[in-house]
Amino acid sequence: MNVDTLREAALVISNSEYLIALTGAGISKESNIPTFRGEDGLWRTYDVMELATPSAFVRNPTLVWEWYEWRQGLISKCDPNPAHNTLVRWEERGLLKTLITQNVDGLHRRAGSTKVLEVHGDLWALKCSFCDYQGRLNKPASGIPACPLCGKHLRPDVVWFGESLDRAIMSQVYTELEKADACIVIGTSALVQPSASFPLIVKQRGGPIIEVNIEKTMLTSAVDFHLSGKAGEILPALDELLT
């Protein structure tokens, strides 16, 4: 990693007035949570169409819940890493205004970030597809949870393939994107829309984009700074250089 590039990116962060962050599965990789598309990504091992679609849930709710139970078990044993913690510090300093995440692991909130918009939901949240019930699990599920109001199967409140994103959250996201004057994008392959184009909205309005990733992505050709390396190392290094 070129030290000058790191320094210039740190200067952009220091000078920003409305910095926002977009994070993906890569930021949680050093917390030992598998990404989706990486070398040991979840999609390489599992068939997503059998696990993360509304029709898969209708077909085989037991299998879908077993998968979520496994992921909840895994995540409950993981802790936030220095990248999550750096974003908490930046929020506390008033530097980071909003954190938009595609992650469903809840690690940003566990680390202490409060201004978080979870565009793909939260692995610990539950909802009923038949009534208005919404709830939360405080430990990994065990079997299929039943709705306390109507008795039907509850599902994880995450966005599955083929589903639209929550309107209220998206409206907040677009409001924040309109205000942002700089964007740091961490650990996302930028393949999933609409999140992949969020940074481009900031760029269109003249805001610089900083990308932190161990590899080049679909976004790399459009960014102002590509910081190549692990989020858990690059973010603390940027933090040290802030003025």
Contacts of the segment 108-115: beta carbons below 8 A, 24+ positions apart? 108/23, 108/80, 108/84, 110/79, 110/80, 110/84, 111/80, 111/84, 111/85, 111/87, 112/85, 112/88, 113/84, 113/87, 113/88, 115/91
Residue in the structure block whose two tokens are 């692990």: 230
Q: Based on the shown chain and the rule CB under 6 A, indicate whether residue 104 belongs to the binding site for ligand NAD.
A: yes
CB atoms within 10 A of CB 172: 15
**Shortest spacing between CB 10 and ligand NAD, in angstroms:** 17
**Shortest spacing between CB 147 and Zn ion, in angstroms:** 3
- 157 CB contacts (<8 Å, ≥6 apart)? 121, 122, 125, 126, 127, 134
Q: Based on the shown chain and the rule CB under 6 A, indicate whether residue 213 belongs to the binding site for ligand NAD.
A: yes
- DSSP reduced 3-state for 59: helix
Q: Based on the shown chain and the rule CB under 5 A, indicate whether residue 134 belongs to the binding site for Zn ion.
A: no
Q: Based on the shown chain and the rule CB under 5 A, indicate whether residue 242 belongs to the binding site for Zn ion.
A: no
Question: For residues 110 and 101, what is the distance between their CA atoms, to the nearest angstrom?
Answer: 13
Question: For residues 25 and 103, what is the distance between their CA atoms, to the nearest angstrom?
Answer: 6
Q: Based on the shown chain and the rule CB under 6 A, indicate whether residue 189 belongs to the binding site for ligand NAD.
A: yes
Q: Based on the shown chain and the rule CB under 5 A, indicate whether residue 133 belongs to the binding site for Zn ion.
A: yes
Binding mask 145-184 for Zn ion (x = CB under 5 A): --x-xx----------------------------------
Phi then psi for residue 238, to 5 deg, are -65, -40
Q: Based on the shown chain and the rule CB under 6 A, indicate whether residue 226 belongs to the binding site for ligand NAD.
A: no
**Shortest spacing between CB 151 and ligand NAD, in angstroms:** 29
With respect to Zn ion, which residue has the nearer C-beta, 41 or 135?
135
Helices 82-92 and 231-241 cross at an angle (nearest 10°) of 30
Question: For residues 23 and 118, what is the distance between their CA atoms, to the nearest angstrom?
Answer: 10
Q: Based on the shown chain and the rule CB under 6 A, indicate whether residue 120 belongs to the binding site for ligand NAD.
A: yes
Where helices occur in 146-219 by DSSP H, the ranges are 167-179, 198-204
**Shortest spacing between CB 166 and ligand NAD, in angstroms:** 13
Q: Residue 26: which of ligand NAD, Zn ion, none does it interact with, CB under 5 to 8 A by kind?
A: ligand NAD
Q: Based on the shown chain and the rule CB under 6 A, indicate whether residue 72 belongs to the binding site for ligand NAD.
A: no
With respect to Zn ion, which residue has the nearer C-beta, 41 or 54?
54
**Active-site choice (84, 108, 120, 226):** 120
Q: Is 108 among the residues known to form the active site?
A: no
Q: Based on the shown chain and the rule CB under 6 A, indicate whether residue 80 belongs to the binding site for ligand NAD.
A: no
The footprint of ligand NAD (CB under 6 A) covers 24-26, 28-30, 33, 35-38, 41-42, 102-105, 120, 187-189, 191-192, 212-215, 217, 230-231
The footprint of Zn ion (CB under 5 A) covers 128, 130-131, 133, 147, 149-150
User: Mind telling me the catalytic residues?
Assistant: 120
